[in-house]
Structure 1
């Protein structure tokens, strides 16, 4: 196998806010996909750089990808719904756009137009330039193995780009995603998607659903030295590793309203010194409350602000 490795991960909703964040208004989100992409492209091209990409994105998923990149002495690249493919050291503007749920999401527009996330990606890269595509990334790194660690939503985003790759290009690609994410990989590329599944949670690489691909990436590199294996050996190695693990039993958790969760967080704030990670573990493991990570983060920030105003 090649000795040079590039790591490709997804952008995150958690970003360090910069000056003059680029976003689309409700009026901007009207019209055809190409017209929206054109408005977005003009706004992005006019926006001044805020910081290097690696200093803007935050969260465990991004940290895991950075750690693996450092371990391998490789380079890190990010799939961004707003910028296309960007290098970690590239200076980018502060922006807010996503194909996932959340603020400034493209999902309502895509639903309205009957379009797929991959349609947005193709419109975006046509507007910003084909150098922002996955295909261009591989063409510019012909001597490297590319490790893609992406959730299903980002596999769906770049699906057509992946479908355009030649078999020779795919021979230098490993795709690490969830079991659901593998179903979204184009059929002719599915053989390079590694068979990771929820049994990974029974290992020392356990975590949350949002950072599953990046944790699996770290397992692949650290536990299996998979970046040194052929695709067939890599698939066999991952299958054997998953077979040796047992999926942990997830306790039944109760759904509660935002107000009920805020009350629990407020009551236990001092007990856990306001630490978000410890409060989330309390909610899930002790209070047995179902709360998705992004929802918890929003509630935690709201309570933090309320407590600061009260003080």
Structure 2
């Protein structure tokens, strides 16, 4: 015979854990409450047995060329006057500080690399930050304006086109940290525990190197940096924080060099951050262990060709196919031509625009 338990008895029973939880009631309140508690506790039990992910304090990634909204010319470096870097930086910061907020930063940026970083942040319940060449260190939930700026010299929104004389990437980034949209590294380091996972491309590593190297020591000890060929871009005191990933990662999470850092960070979250950190050496030993039985992929040597030659191939193939990703794959695997992804995207836009005209 079933005994109807009072609500407080049911809660007390549930608190003992899923193994000792038995629903004795069928009443409208107790049955519903019991089912909800059972589902929650059961889900927790499954995650514990399957290997739950330990929360990380912070996940940081770079911004992306791909945006969910296209900026107007007034929100790009095209509207700035040509001058030496400090003047251009002041012009830009004044401009973006006055632009209307559009929405949360995490909804503005797009692309596979950014999506992988966002997944890593969600899985590890981390505070999520974006390193932006136009805004600085941006919390993902912060409302930001629609803008377009890059430090890539070939891009149409490159700020380098407006700078007279030499460009100093670390000094540019330090200027951005004074803007209203940016936090400081000390804000990122808030809290005294938890890993700080940072995915960097080489250009971004060069840009943030000086300010990051001078971040609080308690932050640097918690830092794990993901990326390829970063040693010559970062100061010596940050080298110990670079996670020992290499091209063997492609056997686990395939991708391109442009999303290598984010793929490595996501793998770290899923395979290493399932246990509390005992320190960087322990974490990186786990990374090496996960890669040790994998083989480096065989490198395919493809000839490099000029922009004009690639444009000719794109124009020819546009007659029978569309889609930048599919065409880049065809260029590499069918045409046997080497072309970096951002370079191809630029040339594809040019060819597609001419075809439309």
**Which interval holds the TM-score relative to the shorter structure?**
0.7 to 0.9
Where structure 2 has 5 or more consecutive residues not aligned to the other structure, the ranges are 1-52
Higher RCO, 1 vs 2 (CA within 8 Å, ≥6 residues apart): 1
CA contact (8 A) 2:244 2:288 kept: yes
1:195-250 CA-partner distances (Å, limit 9, x unpaired)? 1223323x131211111100111121223336743311111122333443322122
CA contact (8 A) 1:2 1:145 kept: no
Do residues 280 (structure 1) and 333 (structure 2) align?
no
Task: Summarize the alignment of residues 1-311 of structure 1 with structure 2, pairs less than 5 Å apart.
Answer: 3-18=55-70, 20-21=72-73, 22-25=75-78, 28-31=81-84, 33-101=85-153, 102-107=155-160, 112-113=165-166, 115-126=167-178, 128=179, 132-139=183-190, 141-178=191-228, 180-201=229-250, 203-225=251-273, 228-229=276-277, 230-269=279-318, 273-309=321-357
Q: Which has the larger radius of gyration?
A: 2
Of 65-74 and 11-20, the range deviating more from structure 2:
11-20
CA contact (8 A) 1:5 1:144 kept: yes
Aligned residues: 302
- Residues 152 and 19 (structure 1), Cα distance of their counterparts in 2 relative to 1, 3 Å cut: closer
CA contact (8 A) 1:131 1:137 kept: no
Distance 2:76 2:311 in 1: 29
- Residues 268 and 181 (structure 1), Cα distance of their counterparts in 2 relative to 1, 3 Å cut: same
Distance 1:291 1:94 in 2: 30
Find the residue that maps to 1:233 and give its secondary structure.
helix
Where structure 1 has 5 or more consecutive residues not aligned to the other structure, the ranges are none
CA contact (8 A) 1:152 1:182 kept: no
Please, what TM-score do these two structures have when normalized by structure 2?
A: 0.76
Please, what TM-score do these two structures have when normalized by structure 1?
A: 0.86
CA contact (8 A) 2:80 2:88 kept: no
Distance 1:204 1:107 in 2: 37
